[in-house]
Amino acid sequence: MQINSPVQIRIVDEIAIITVDSPPVNALSAAVRDGLDQAMRSALDDPMARGILLTCAGRTFIAGADISEFGKPLTGVPLHDVLDRIEGSPKPVLAAIHGTALGGGLETALVCDYRVATPSARLGLPEVALGLLPGAGGTQRLPRLIGVEAALDMMVFGKPVSASRAQAMGLIDAIMPEDGLIDGAIAYLRERLDAPVIKIRDRTVSATPALFDGFRQQNRRSFQGFRAPENIVKAVEAAVTLPFDEGMKRESDLFWELMHSRESAAQRYFFFAERLTAKVPDMPDDRPPPPISHVGVIGAGTMGGGIAMNFLNAGIPVTIVEQEATALSRGVDTIRRNYQATVDKGRLSVDQMDARMTLLTPTLDLAALDDADLVIEAVFEKMTLKQEIFARLDQVARPDAILATNTSFLDIDAIAGVTSRPEQVVGLHFFSPANIMKLLEVVRGGQTAPDIVARAMAIGRKIGKVAVLSRVCDGFIANRMMTPRMTAAQALLLEGPMPWDIDRVMMDYGFAMGPFAMLDLVGLDVIGWDAATSRSSSIVEILCEEGRWGQKKGAGYYEYDERRRPTPSPHVEQVIRDFATRAGHAQRSFTDAEIIARLLYPVVNEGAKLLEEGIAIRASDVDVALIHGYGWPLFTGGPLFWADGVGLDRIADGLEAMGIAPAPLLRSLAAAGRSLHDHVPAATPVAALA
């Protein structure tokens, strides 16, 4: 027994049971590493112990590194030394896994001679999500245990595997009952006390260069912009071609190369930024918010149906309301088709689909929402329509219900103003498709009560969204941020670059799609064009007047074949050049760097305004919103993290050269040599939401 240590040791039936007890997730902190090292020394020195069992108390096995130690000087015994001691044990060592064994936790299990797990356990090496690779021998031991292809898949994509999958691939040796893990593990180990053991490090693994080349080629697009996947592949190549110790040295070199890279810094920043969104000034944190047991959704269209699915997926009953029976039936059918598509892909069982559909109640009667805890309006973006609905809801909904609007641009205070309870009105802005996109903008009106905001943020987490708080403004955070990019892209067409030039630069930067390809996908006719008032006063108007509405018409900014594959359009190029000539614009060639500056510097400027106006709480919230809402490249960290790397003085000067006034906050931070992330708005002390 070790006093005042998160690691305890006891002897049972000739087995030294080492238990890590460091809530909440038994992370590999300095104290845990020191405790493990001391416990292993004790077990190895104890003649009563013939075998060693490593397990954890609480809800999980070792779930990885202690993230609070990231970026700090190393204290305590290095993890490599602890793992070397375990791996070098002449006594057999078994890891008994429950909950999750992730990152350094799985690497710890890999130095053990045997691994057993409960049926619900999950095992993985997710370091790639932080822009890193497994740096404690994972890239060298895992291929030797399960083969190169399986190891590459686990590490490059970072997805944990189930216990049954782990057993099938040879990652674990046996599955034990949920309530009998320790007893089963002791029995399993006792049967093997005298059995010969081949350490994983002493095994060999082989693979051809063609396998690695093929893996790279197959995943080339998903690797773009990220350094960690390629470094993982290189480390696994070392496991195949080098002796173990040399492979470990190669792994270490590749790990530290990543640790010092801008891409990894961006991904690690984003990891913490996501978690920081839940911390909101002046929110009550003294009690958990009441649960949501019934949700009403008004509108069974694309957004309403997608919103409903989020709650059905979470096991929460939903009543969905429409005005007409045909629209209601169509909406319910769409929800069922979406679930059926998931069933067809093997991601959902028929029973699960049926259970979710059973929770859905379609109706034409708004009064059916009289017992809902939360009502979300998801109708057409028309202020008078939304105000009419909220005035009726005010008469129908129960007194303590949360009344939410899914508006993406409209003034929530104007909507709340038609009710007798504006303090209970909040914005819940889902992004399309609502059942897939992770971002949920929680929009706090001028009179929205703090407890309503707290409940709205908790609702987002309940349905698996990343909730970001915004104050009221046109477009809130994400839409307002991206509007200047589209404005700049349209203006740039008149100066020389064609749509496909601009799209290519944005895709090279890391976006999945450029702005003009996106417009073609959405439809040029649905972004504000009105045939009745169109006068060929812009390129968009000319294209729409010609019937070039985008992919659905086979022509927009691009030409599209029958499979909707785009090609540059000579006709559109001529339209643009003729329009530019009539408007008196001289055209020239632009470098990629110039195009990036023209499109993205205004986005950064808008972000600075959001912070200055108090619309967003912090710069990291803006980055999270843009990454999850608009697919801003993760490896850049988001627009404001990227801007701090570029240099605020350079961006401010660039904006002035474009004739755009830099936001006062941007200019003042640049002059002081500070970053956007240094800006902290005046607020009461931060309280973490329950």
pLDDT band of residue 521 (cuts 50, 70, 90) is very high
Q: What pTM value is reported for the model? A: 0.91
- Provide φ and ψ at 374, rounded to 5°: -140, 130
The answer for residues whose C-beta is within 8 angstroms of residue 115's C-beta and 6 or more apart is 94, 95, 97, 109, 171, 172, 173
Q: In this model, does residue 683 exceed pLDDT 90?
A: no
Name the catalytic one among 87, 107, 251, 322. 107
Give the pLDDT score at 530.
85
Give the pLDDT score at 99.
97
Give the pLDDT score at 687.
35
Give the pLDDT score at 283.
72
Taking residue 95's Cβ as centre, other Cβ atoms within 10 Å add up to 29
Strands 439-444 and 425-430: antiparallel
647: left (phi over 0), alpha (psi -120 to 50) or beta: left
Q: What does the pLDDT average to over 23-48?
A: 96
**Cα distance between residue 321 and residue 324, in whole Å:** 9
Taking residue 213's Cβ as centre, other Cβ atoms within 10 Å add up to 11
Q: When comparing pLDDT for 192 and 681, which is higher?
A: 192
Which tokens sit at 631? Answer: 């697919």
Taking residue 463's Cβ as centre, other Cβ atoms within 10 Å add up to 20
- Least Cα distance to 62 among 18, 94, 92, 106 occurs for 106
Report helix, strand or coil for 311: helix
Give the chain's mean pLDDT: 94
What burial class does residue 518 get, using C-beta atoms within 10 Å of its C-beta: 0-12 exposed, 13-18 middle, 19+ buried?
buried
Q: In this model, does residue 70 exceed pLDDT 90?
A: no
Give the pLDDT score at 2.
58
How many residues in total does the chain contain? 690
**Cα distance between residue 162 and residue 117, in whole Å:** 10
Give the pLDDT score at 75.
87
Q: Would you say 88 and 112 are in contact if contact means Cβ atoms under 8 Å apart?
A: no
Condensed to tens digits (0 to 9), the pLDDT of residues 311-359 reads: 999 999 999 999 999 999 999 999 999 999 999 999 999 999 999 999 9
Instruction: Reply yes or no on whether 107 is catalytic.
Output: yes
Strands 122-124 and 161-162: antiparallel
Alpha helices in 524-660 (DSSP H): 539-545, 570-582, 592-613, 619-630, 639-646, 648-657
**Cα distance between residue 576 and residue 592, in whole Å:** 20
Give the pLDDT score at 515.
96
Report helix, strand or coil for 183: helix
Q: What does the pLDDT average to over 241-261?
A: 97
Q: Would you say 99 and 59 are in contact if contact means Cβ atoms under 8 Å apart?
A: yes
Condensed to tens digits (0 to 9), the pLDDT of residues 432-469 reads: 899 999 999 999 999 999 999 999 999 999 999 999 99
Condensed to tens digits (0 to 9), the pLDDT of residues 254-313 reads: 999 999 999 999 999 999 999 999 988 877 666 677 889 999 999 999 999 999 999 999
DSSP 436: T
What burial class does residue 220 get, using C-beta atoms within 10 Å of its C-beta: 0-12 exposed, 13-18 middle, 19+ buried?
exposed
Condensed to tens digits (0 to 9), the pLDDT of residues 153-194 reads: 999 999 999 999 999 999 999 999 999 999 999 999 999 999
Give the pLDDT score at 689.
32
Buried b (16+ CB within 10 A) or exposed e, 16-50: bbbbbebeebbbbbbbbbbbbbbbbebbbeeeebb
Name the catalytic one among 127, 263, 274, 441. 127
**Percent of the residues in the chain that have a pLDDT greater than 70, as a whole number:** 97
**Cα distance between residue 95 and residue 141, in whole Å:** 15
Condensed to tens digits (0 to 9), the pLDDT of residues 605-664 reads: 999 999 999 999 999 999 999 999 999 999 999 999 999 999 999 999 999 999 999 999
In the β-sheet with 360-363, what is the strand arrangement from edge to edge? 360-363, 318-321, 295-298, 374-377, 402-405, 425-430, 439-444, 466-471
Domains of the chain with bracketed CATH: 7-259 (3.90.226.10), 295-475 (3.40.50.720), 496-582 (1.10.1040.50)
- Least Cα distance to 298 among 458, 428, 479, 476 occurs for 428
Q: Would you say 108 and 54 are in contact if contact means Cβ atoms under 8 Å apart?
A: yes
- Least Cα distance to 415 among 370, 369, 453, 384 occurs for 384
**Cα distance between residue 248 and residue 236, in whole Å:** 10
pLDDT band of residue 141 (cuts 50, 70, 90) is very high
State how far the alpha carbon of 35 is from the alpha carbons of 80, 91, 252, 376, in Å: 14, 19, 24, 51
Which tokens sit at 16? Answer: 């030294």
6-15, 62-71, 147-156, 501-510: least confident range: 62-71
Give the pLDDT score at 73.
82
Instruction: Reply yes or no on whether 656 is catalytic.
Output: no
Amino acid letter for position 238? A
Residue recorded with tokens 């095992």: 123
* DSSP string for 483-504: HHHHHHHHHHHTTS--HHHHHH
- Least Cα distance to 331 among 343, 322, 339 occurs for 322
Q: In this model, does residue 494 exceed pLDDT 70?
A: yes
